[in-house]
Structure 1
Amino acid sequence: MSQPTPPAHQPAVAAATAAAPLLSVVIPAYNEEESIGETLRTLHATLLAEGIAHEIVVTNDNSKDNTLARLEELAQEIPTLVYYTNAGPNGFGYAVRYGLERYRGDCVAVMMADLSDDPADLVRFYRKMQEGYDCVFGSRWGRGGRVVDYPPHKRVINRVANAIVKTVFRLKYNDCTNAFKLYRRHTMEGLKPFLSPHFNLTLELPLKAIVRGYSYAVVPNSWTNRKYGESKLKIKEMGSRYFFIMMYCLIEKYFAQGDFRKKQE
């Protein structure tokens, strides 16, 4: 059984107006000892400066390096940080799902531990959600989006995969595989049960949200390649898993008779 951190490591929610929704940020971390400090400090400082009530929920995915020790240190300086260790099963999807079962906020974003996602973009997502949307999706590839040092072969695969999803589901949105997205709590609850144990969770969440009738806005965002370590995404291992999720959501779209669609208020 996975053990949460002691109660002393539960976050103190950052100050904000009583009416403002509490933002949770779920971050999976596997062997991120070199990146996690800069990521969490930058994220916390940005949200604090913007007056956004928040908690930062990190799932240490049974790291083999000193990620856990770094989190223990960081919890002493970042009052809104809470962390857990997922003893297993492990994998990106499992780590994210572990955090999604434990966050406390009114809305939740998934971000990476390597600072590839910009906290300033998260602020823009959060502000956009206040207009009434159920989800806010980032797009790195449209007007206003930006990528820095994106590996050329991954870029080709990314654009082909997203073009297929866009065509099959008749979407205007062009970045479904981007993990960096924001969901209201009731939306996230409406996407359960989760199926994906790996990076295909990044496709499962937005496709389910779209197929099930949740409203969404698209906001341009930036992506910057990691400074330290190596990417955990293994493209050769993920093709069939992405295909499975795409087909599952397509079957639901046309054959589920609306059983899973958002309940109208």
Structure 2
Amino acid sequence: MEYVSYSIVIPAYNESDRIQESLTKIVAFLAEQSWTAEVLVVNDGSRDNTAEVVKRFAAQHRFIRLIENPGNRGKGYSVRNGMLQAVGDVVLFTDADLSAPITEAPKLFSEIQKGVDVAFGSRWLVAKMQTERQSIMRQIAGRMYNVIMRIVLGLNFKDTQCGFKAFNRKALETIFTRQHVERWGFDVELLFLARKFKLKIEEVPVEWAHDDRSKINPLVDGIKMFGEMLSIRWNSIVGRYTNPHLPKPVVTDATPVVKIAK
């Protein structure tokens, strides 16, 4: 199947220090690819000038869009908000710090082209591809979370938390209209839903570098994520995922994706 357009969704909360560099890299990368594409930055109620930085880029590049959340709602909400407004045939979300370089995106897109519905980056399939590792504490917390996730949700993946995931439109419309988790634990819900609805999933090793400015607290947020994991299992048991609770995105011919020339 030949896809013609791509969307890149970036959740952002107080990212004025990093978003300019990241958008500069993304703009340069897209120009090299000559893709038809759009970039959506979802501002999650930032208290700094994240929105102003994005607006300056959008004024220079019409394929960049700023989406404003109704206040600070969480990363999961931000990703869902951007994904449901994206119009590309393939939609990728990535962290604002580009811990996985945007140059790794073709690896995920290639899997989608081969017929996979969801392709997501992994830091642990080929650990030597990590150019900057997390602290030992974060690694231990991550491994513990992964073990519990396998027990509670039955997801047999090496790395669910890497913020670098791509979806075709079928997967996007199936998953994000049913997503409930709006904070840090949303990644496993996405993959749980993909497995529940028998979508084709591929975990792909990607280059990755930890950023010490990461906003997640391994202990405090880890406890919250465990609670969210239990809520995912409960939602499935009581049938909350059976039907979408959000409207299916409407994509018209008048889409804002732009052919980006070299």
TM-score scaled by length of structure 2: 0.82
Change (3 A) 1:95 1:252: closer
Question: Does the aligned pair in 1 maintain the 2:129–2:206 contact within 8 Å?
Answer: yes
State the 1:86 CA deviation.
1.5
- Per the alignment, residue 58 of structure 2 pairs with 75
**What does 1:65-214 correspond to in 2, within 5 Å?**
65-143=48-126, 146-147=129-130, 148-191=132-175, 192-214=177-199
Range 80-89 or range 128-137, more displaced: 80-89
In 2, the alpha carbon distance for the partners of 1:197 and 1:169 equals 18
**What does 1:213-224 correspond to in 2, within 5 Å?**
213-224=198-209
Q: Secondary structure at the match of 2:161?
A: coil
Question: Does the aligned pair in 1 maintain the 2:99–2:210 contact within 8 Å?
Answer: yes
Q: Secondary structure at the match of 1:88?
A: coil
State the 1:39 CA deviation.
0.7
In 2, the alpha carbon distance for the partners of 1:57 and 1:208 equals 23
In 1, the alpha carbon distance for the partners of 2:179 and 2:28 equals 32
Q: Secondary structure at the match of 2:219?
A: helix
More relative contact order, 1 or 2 (CA 8 Å, 6+ apart): 2
State the 1:225 CA deviation.
2.5
State the 1:69 CA deviation.
1.3
State the 1:171 CA deviation.
4.4
Q: Percent identity?
A: 28
State the 1:80 CA deviation.
1.6
Change (3 A) 1:186 1:128: same
One-letter amino acid of the structure 2 residue matched with residue 132 of structure 1: G
Question: Does the aligned pair in 1 maintain the 2:13–2:50 contact within 8 Å?
Answer: yes
In 2, the alpha carbon distance for the partners of 1:44 and 1:206 equals 29
Q: Secondary structure at the match of 1:75?
A: helix
Deviations 1:41-97 (A, max 9, x none): 212222331233211100111211111111111113333211122232522222222
One-letter amino acid of the structure 2 residue matched with residue 178 of structure 1: C
Question: Does the aligned pair in 2 maintain the 1:31–1:65 contact within 8 Å?
Answer: yes
One-letter amino acid of the structure 1 residue matched with residue 174 of structure 2: G
In 2, the alpha carbon distance for the partners of 1:213 and 1:219 equals 18
One-letter amino acid of the structure 1 residue matched with residue 116 of structure 2: Y
Question: Does the aligned pair in 2 maintain the 1:208–1:249 contact within 8 Å?
Answer: no
Q: Secondary structure at the match of 1:174?
A: coil
Query: Is it true that 1:62 corresponds to 2:48 in the alignment?
Result: no
Change (3 A) 1:213 1:249: farther
Change (3 A) 1:114 1:239: same
Unaligned stretches of 5+ in structure 2? Answer: 244-262
Deviations 1:98-152 (A, max 9, x none): 2122111122111111121211111111112100011102111112662214222
- Per the alignment, residue 12 of structure 1 pairs with none
In 2, the alpha carbon distance for the partners of 1:221 and 1:99 equals 23
Structure 2 residue corresponding to 1:226, chosen from 211, 227, 242 = 211
In 1, the alpha carbon distance for the partners of 2:141 and 2:127 equals 21
- Per the alignment, residue 246 of structure 1 pairs with 229
Unaligned stretches of 5+ in structure 1? Answer: 1-18, 261-265
TM-score scaled by length of structure 1: 0.81
Question: Does the aligned pair in 1 maintain the 2:141–2:222 contact within 8 Å?
Answer: no
Q: Secondary structure at the match of 1:233?
A: coil
Q: Secondary structure at the match of 2:14?
A: coil
Matched residue pairs, number?
A: 241
